[in-house]
Structure 1
Amino acid sequence: MRPLDRLHSIRTKLGLLIAVTVALTAVVSVVATERGVSPWVTVPVAVVVALAVTQVLARGMTSPLREMTAAARRMATGDYSQQVTATSQDEVGELARTFNAMAADLALVDRQRRDLVANVSHELRTPVSALRALLENLVDGVVRPDAERLQVALTQTERLGRLVTDLLDLSRLDAGLSQLNPSRLAVRPFLQDAVKEARLAEHPVRYAVEVDPFDLVVVADRARLHQLLANLLDNAGRHSPVGGTVRARAYRGNGGMILEVADQGPGIAPEEREQVFERFTTGDSSAESGTGLGLAIARWVTDLHSGSIEVVDRPRGCLIRARIPLTQEVTA
C-alpha cells in the first residue's frame, strides 16, 4: 500500500505528510477536549495516531531506499539480480529506476567479463594445444617437419596473432587512442585484395566481387576499412556451407558507399541481429563461432567513419550492410 506514489515530488509528499499529521493531531485533541478527556491522555493518543498514519503514508517514500540498501549489499558480493520496486513517480522512484538500470548494466558487464575469459581461453587453448602436440611430435621424431605440418603450425600461429590484434584494437578503442587517416581509395582493387587474403584462410567457399560504378572511389582509412571487410569476409566464410558463395558488393547510395557481404549460411535470428555487434557476442554457440570480437570491431570502424552497420533481413543466409560516407575528416 503506497498511497502517495502518484505524487511527482518528494517535497509535495513531505508537505502533505506534515499537513495530515498536524490536522489529525488537532482533530484528536479537539474531540478529546470536547469529551472531557484529560490532556495527559489526549497527547499520547494523538502522538500514537499521528505516528501510525505517518508510517502508512511514508511507506512508499522510504521502502525503495531500504530495498536499494539491501540490493547494494548483495551487489557487493557479485549478485546483480535483485531489482528495486519503483512504483513511485517522485525523485525516489526515479532513483530506484536508475538503480535498476545500473544493476542491469553491471550484470551485463559481469557477464561479458565472464564470456571474455571463457571465449578467449577457448580461442587460445585450441591453437596452443595444436602447436604443442605438433612440436612434441617433431621433437620426439614421431613426424618429420614437412611442408604440410609446418603449414598447420603457421595457421595456428596466425590464428593466435589475429586474436591478439583484435584484443589490442579493442583496448585502443577503450583508451580513446583510435583515429582515422583517410585517403582516396579505389574500391574495386581494394575489395579484390581483401578477397585474395580471405582465400588464404582456405574456407571451402567461392568469393564474388561486385562494384558499381566500376571506378567507385571513397575517402576512408584504408587500414580500418580493411579490418571491417576482413572480419566480415572471415565470418561469412566460416558460416557458409561447403561450396557456397560469399559476395562482397560495393555501390554508391544514401550519400555514401554501401558495402555488403552476404553468405549462404544459416543466417542470424532477428532477435540477435543487434546483439551480434556487441563485444564477445556471437550469433551461435558453436566452437567455430569465434570470440565475438569481429563484428564489434566492424561496428567500431563504421562508427569511426561516422557510418553505420546492420544485419539485413533476407530469406537465406546472412547479409551485413555497412554505410561509409563518401567524404571523411580525421576523427579522434
Structure 2
Amino acid sequence: MTGRRGPGCGRREKRERRVLLSIHTKLGALVALAVLVTTGLVLVAVRTHTELRYVTVLAMIATLLVTQFVARSLTAPLDEMNVVAAAISHGDYTRRVVGADRRDELGDLADTINRMADDLEAVDQNRKELVANVSHELRTPIAALRAVLENVVDGVSAADPETMRTALKQTERLGRLVETLLDLSRVDSGTVPLRAGRFEVWPYLSGVLKEATLVTAQRRGMASGSGSHTRGDVHLHLDVVPPELTAHADPERLHQVVANLIDNAVKHSPPYGRVTVRARRGEGPESLDLEVLDEGPGIPKSEWHRVFERFNRGERPGKTAPGSDGGTGLGLAIARWAVDLHGGRIGVAESPRGCRIQVSLPGREERGTA
C-alpha cells in the first residue's frame, strides 16, 4: 500500500545518502592514497634504478599502514558502540558512548545511541517508580480491608453496617487507584475521544465541589480506623464570575482536571485551610480560565516545571499537612493530559500565599468545533 510519506522520511533518506557518501569518500581517499604512495615509490625506483621487488614490498607495507590507520579510525568507535549497545540490551542503561562529540556520521550515531540510552533509562526509572508507588498505595487499603474481614471471620467484630462501611471505603479506595491506572493507560494509548459541548460553569463546578466535599466527609469519619490519608477538614470555595458564565469543553475530561487539582490542593492545605476554585471568561468565545488556590506552603519556582511530571509525588517544603500524602504522582499528569487534549494550557502561577494553578481552555472557535 502506497501513501504520502512524512517529512521525517525524507530527512532520513537524505541522512542515509550523506552517510553513504561520506563512507565512500573515505574509502575512495584510502584507495587514492594507496595509488599515490605506490606510484611515488615506482617513480623513485625508476629514478634510482631500484629493483622492482623492493618497490613492491615497500608499496605493500605503506598501503597496509595507511589502510590500518583508516580502518582503525572507522572501527574503533563502532567497537565502542557495540559494547555500549550490548550493555543496554542486558539492562545496563548507565553506559554511554564517549565519541558523541565527533563531527561526522559516527558522532551522530553515538549521539543517537546515547539519547536512546537516556530514554530507556527514564522509562526504566518510571517503571520502577510506578511499581513502588502503586505497591505503596495498594498496601494500605488491602491491609485495612484484610484486617476488617479477619475480625469479622474470627468473631472479633460483628458484620454490622459500620464494619461493612469500613470495608466499603477501602474497596472504593482501591477502585479509585484502578481508575487512575486506567486513565494512565488511556493517556499512553491516545485513544480517548474529546466530546466537547456547551455547559453552564457554575452548576457544573458546584457539582464537582459537592462531590469532592461529600467524598472527603465520608472519608474523614473513617480516617482513624481505615488508614485513609484523605483530608476532611479543608473548606472548598467556588468563585464564578459572571454567575451565568458558559464554556465549551468536554465535561468528563474537565472533571478529571478540576478533581485532581482539588485533591492536590486539599492534600497540601494547612489544618482547616481553604481551597478556592475560581472561574472567569477567557479570551475566546466560550473559553474558560480556571484557577485553583490553596493556603499551603506553595511550590518553589525552581520546581514549577516538574509539577505535572508523572510520578512526581508533589512534595512541598515545610511540614507535611496532617493526613496528606503524595499519592501515586499521576493526578496532575493526567490533569495536564486532559488540558492538552482540549488544546489549552496549565501551569503554576505566582501567588502571595500557597499554590495557584491556572488552567486556560480555548473554547469553541479556537478549536474549530461546531
TM bucket normalised to smaller: 0.7 to 0.9
Residue number among 48, 57, 76 corresponding to 2:61 in the alignment: 48
Deviation at 1:167, TM superposition (A): 1.4
Alpha-carbon displacement from aligned partner over 1:182-233 (angstroms, at most 9, x marks no partner): 1211112222211112222242212221223322211111111111111111
Name the residue aligned to 1:201. Answer: 216
Deviation at 1:17, TM superposition (A): 3.9
- Confirm whether residue 239 of structure 1 aligns to residue 268 of structure 2: yes
Deviation at 1:239, TM superposition (A): 1.6
Cα distance, 1:138–1:99 mapped onto 2, change above 3 Å: same
Residue number among 314, 319, 323 corresponding to 2:360 in the alignment: 323
Helix, strand or coil: the match of 2:207? Answer: helix
Residue number among 292, 307, 327 corresponding to 1:261 in the alignment: 292
Helix, strand or coil: the match of 2:240? Answer: strand
- Confirm whether residue 65 of structure 1 aligns to residue 75 of structure 2: no
Name the residue aligned to 2:7. Answer: none
Length, aligned pairs only = 324
Unaligned runs of 5+ residues in structure 1 are 1-7
Name the residue aligned to 2:331. Answer: 294
Unaligned runs of 5+ residues in structure 2 are 1-20, 218-230
- Confirm whether residue 75 of structure 1 aligns to residue 88 of structure 2: yes
Tell me: higher relative CO, structure 1 or 2? Use CA pairs within 8 A at least 6 residues apart: 1
- The 10-residue stretch of structure 1 (87-96 or 274-283) with the greater mean CA deviation from structure 2: 274-283
Cα distance, 1:88–1:134 mapped onto 2, change above 3 Å: same
Q: Percent identity, please.
A: 49
- The 10-residue stretch of structure 1 (233-242 or 136-145) with the greater mean CA deviation from structure 2: 136-145
The within-5 A match list for 1:67-146 is: 67-84=80-97, 85-145=99-159
The within-5 A match list for 1:15-34 is: 15-31=28-44, 34=47
Alpha-carbon displacement from aligned partner over 1:68-127 (angstroms, at most 9, x marks no partner): 211121111111111112122222222221121111111111111111111111111110
- 1:293 maps to a residue whose letter is L
Alpha-carbon displacement from aligned partner over 1:1-54 (angstroms, at most 9, x marks no partner): xxxxxxx94444444444444434444444455445443233333333333344
Cα distance, 1:207–1:259 mapped onto 2, change above 3 Å: same
Alpha-carbon displacement from aligned partner over 1:113-166 (angstroms, at most 9, x marks no partner): 111111111111110001111121222232345555444333322211111111
Cα distance, 1:88–1:155 mapped onto 2, change above 3 Å: same
Deviation at 1:250, TM superposition (A): 1.5
- The 10-residue stretch of structure 1 (290-299 or 22-31) with the greater mean CA deviation from structure 2: 22-31
- 1:77 maps to a residue whose letter is H
Q: Would you say the 8 A contact 2:282–2:361 is kept in 1? A: no
Name the residue aligned to 1:228. Answer: 257
Helix, strand or coil: the match of 1:219? Answer: strand
CA distance in 1, matches of 2:283, 2:348: 17
Deviation at 1:315, TM superposition (A): 5.1
Q: Normalising by structure 2, what TM-score?
A: 0.78
- Confirm whether residue 184 of structure 1 aligns to residue 198 of structure 2: yes
- Confirm whether residue 305 of structure 1 aligns to residue 342 of structure 2: yes
Q: Would you say the 8 A contact 2:187–2:334 is kept in 1? A: no
Q: Would you say the 8 A contact 1:10–1:92 is kept in 2? A: no
CA distance in 1, matches of 2:101, 2:38: 29
Cα distance, 1:330–1:78 mapped onto 2, change above 3 Å: farther
